Amino acid sequence: NEAQRERSEAIAASLRSRGISTDVAPSAAKFGKQIKFADRRGIPYVWFPGEEGAPDTVKDIRSGEQVEADPLTWTIAAADARPAIEKVTD
pLDDT tens digits along 13-36: 999 999 888 888 777 777 778 778
Query: What is the pLDDT, as a whole number, of residue 50?
Result: 85
Residue type, 52: E
pLDDT tens per residue across span 29-75:
777 787 788 888 888 888 888 887 889 999 998 898 999 999 999 98
Beta-bridge partner residues of 63: none
C-beta neighbour count of 21 within 10 angstroms? 13
* Angle, vertex CA 26, rays to CA 21 and CA 28, nearest 5: 115
pTM: 0.76
